[in-house]
Structure 1
Amino acid sequence: MTTLQGKTALVTGASAGIGLATARMLSHAGARVICCARALERLQIQLDEMPGPGLAVELDVADAVSAASLPDRLPQDWQAVDILVNNAGSDIGGRQPFHEGDINQWAGTIQTNVTGLMQVTAAMLPGMLAREQGHIVNIGSTQGLTPVAGCGAYTAS
């Protein structure tokens, strides 16, 4: 495995699933990991199980203010993020026939999965550009390749 010693990674949606697994992998590879999610308490518990240094930060990617303020909410010695992993995702409303769907739920899914990714990237990218280094990894779902009936907004996002 590649060593990430001395690197700082930020993972959104890090409280469970792929985000948590990614944060653990990055920690095992030597990176300092900033774990972000809405569930701050759950993040704290997860950090205790990681081998390297970590930081839990409450973040709602769908909230423009939460995303835009992210760099300033990080302690000074954690602000130089080398790796951004946009993983946070949501399927608000779950599976339902299109004609029974709720436009507000669809909008919530798009806000989290598309706009949220863009908002976090817009917040973190200036620091990467200023340092002339950084990597951005965007996690997607296999539903983008193989749609599932009743999951229109999630598949589209």
Structure 2
Amino acid sequence: MQTVLITGASSGFGAACARAFAKLGWRLVLTARRKGVLDELERELAPLAPVHVLALDVRDRAAVEATLSSLPSEFSEVDLLVNSAGLALGLEPAHKASLDDWDTMVDTNIKGVMYCTRALLPGMVARNRGHIVNIGSVAGSWPYPGGNVYGGTKAFVQQFSRNLRADLLGTAVRVTNIEPGMAETEFSKVRFKGNEEQAQRVYTGTEPLVAQDIADIVVWVSTLPSRVNINSIEVMSVSQSWAPLAVHREK
């Protein structure tokens, strides 16, 4: 039986991944800040698979190191890390954006991925098996107005994933960066700080990706033969594509 540790498991892509791997009978280590939501998820999934939940803020380096180094023996050999914890805050242009929001995105999307990966990677290398799946974004490759620091953090995830692959040459540890486009989860609700109406306008008239779409991809890349490494996948809804290059014209 294999073990998966999923960050940001209380909602969105993380929760969908938890349900998908529970159906496969994998051991689940589920982390998020909202312990109450994790407890509900544990009650839902426990009939399908062993579940261990942890209230954890991935921005807290000391907590990540202490928590992930002291997992119960049944869950301690993590075969798959899904770095799903992440967020976007605000859509203001850079000269108006909140520095507090920028700090939160850097601390979560960059440092959280670093801390969790560094905590579990030595064990994977020692066992010569394992897989890191990072949830990036199309924003890591393609800019848009207001994407400023969020896009920068996801560009880090993209390049960090590539460099992990380079460092791990000669081992059997795999690394994949999955880069979703527009997806209807709590993402926009978080971005707009609980403004449901503003969040819903993002998806009006479209058929966006849903969390299960990404979970299906995570399961696929992680259950391929061990000789296969999917380096990266960029995935969009058919409702989304690239726009013409912007041109400012004087009136």
Shift of 1:150: 1.2
- 2:122 aligns with 126
1:85 maps to 2:103: no
Alignment TM-score, normalising by the size of structure 1: 0.90
**Greater relative contact order structure (CA < 8 Å, 6+ sep):** 1
Q: RMSD between aligned alpha carbons?
A: 1.3
After TM superposition, the runs of 4+ consecutive aligned structure 1 residues lying more than 4 A away are: none
Tell me which amino acid in the other structure corresponds to 2:7.
Answer: T
Distance (whole Å) between structure 2 residues aligned to residue 80 and residue 153 of structure 1: 34
Written as runs of structure 1 = structure 2, the 5 A alignment for 1:1-40 is 6-40=1-35
Per-residue CA deviation, residues 66-104 of structure 1 (Å, 9 max, x unaligned), is 211122331122111111111100223x11121111223
Which residue, 60, 63, 66 being the options, matches 1:63?
Answer: 60
**Residue-pair matches, total:** 151
Shift of 1:52: 1.4
CA contact (8 A) 1:69 1:123 kept: no
Alignment TM-score, normalising by the size of structure 2: 0.57
- 2:43 aligns with 48
CA contact (8 A) 1:98 1:152 kept: yes
Unaligned runs of 5+ in 1: 1-5
CA contact (8 A) 2:28 2:52 kept: yes
Tell me which amino acid in the other structure corresponds to 2:133.
Answer: V
Distance (whole Å) between structure 1 residues aligned to residue 30 and residue 118 of structure 2: 18
- 1:97 aligns with 93
Unaligned runs of 5+ in 2: 154-251
CA contact (8 A) 1:11 1:19 kept: yes
1:73 alignment partner, SS class:
coil
Distance (whole Å) between structure 2 residues aligned to residue 66 and residue 104 of structure 1: 21
Which residue, 126, 129, 136 being the options, matches 2:132?
Answer: 136
Shift of 1:7: 0.2
